[in-house]
Chain A
Amino acid sequence: EVQLVESGGGLVQPGGSLRLSCAASGFSFSNYAMNWVRQAPGKGLEWVSAVSGSGANTYYADSVKGRFTLSRDNSKNTVYLQMSSLRVEDTAIYYCAKTGRATVLRGGVSDYWGQGTLVTVSS
């Protein structure tokens, strides 16, 4: 059974940093690209970032580029989202999602999702 468990969310002040983790199990982790998607309170879904199965390629939304860094450790079946220079508008539930393929471009539906972790940026 595929399982994705996010952790690391919490309350942080504007300008602060936080690292989210997503621990995966139940599939051959290195064979699949992974996405992060966020949802601000009462709002829609926003794609944040993606990493290829090997970890060699990463992609970011313009809203987080230069502030967030996505990485993965295939030996630990874990994806990490390092978030810095956090802003109030980064407040959201952050979901980790598995895709259906190793590469990010041209396809790769998010076929399994974690339960999400809440990040609150506030003074």
Chain B
Amino acid sequence: DIQMTQSPSSLSASVGDRVTITCRASQTISRYLNWYQQKPGKAPKVVIYDASSLQGGVPSRFSGSGSGTDFTLTISSLQPEDFATYYCQQTYITPYAFGQGTKLEIK
């Protein structure tokens, strides 16, 4: 099975900061990598799919890159509503593993 490893596990940042979260797959997954945002008590919401495609309705300050085994999610200028937990997920082959999550907190 493919393992997904995110880093960091937690991150403190300020409004206006640029932040980057990384996700590494244990084997190549082409570009079948999605990023989800989850706020407390809510269902996850997709922000980036297929490594770099912005989901409709998601602000353009979110971007994704990568292919093969290494991927990044970047938020160019943090807004208050962006503080949440972010998960990557591979959909190359089942089981569709998630990363362990990155909790983005306000500094």
Contact = CB atoms under 8 A, between A and B. Distances in A.
B85 to A, nearest CB: 8
Contacts of B89: 45, 47, 110
Contacts of A44: 87, 98-101
Contact of B94 (A59, A95, A100, A111): A59
A13 to B, nearest CB: 27
Interface string B87-107: 101011111111111000000
A47 B97 contact: yes
A95 B44 contact: yes
Contacts of A50: 94, 96
Per DSSP, are chain B's interface residues mostly helix, strand or loop, or mixed? loop
Chain B interface bracket (under 10, 10 to 19, 20 to 34, 35 or more): 20 to 34
The winner among A37, A45, A47 for most chain B CB atoms within 10 A is: A45
22 contacts: A35-B96, A37-B44, A44-B87, A44-B98, A44-B99, A44-B101, A47-B95, A50-B96, A62-B95, A95-B44, A106-B93, A107-B32, A107-B91, A109-B34, A109-B46, A109-B49, A109-B55, A110-B36, A110-B46, A110-B89, A111-B46, A113-B44
Interface string A48-81: 0010000000011110000000000000000000
Contacts of A115: 43
Nearest to B33: A109
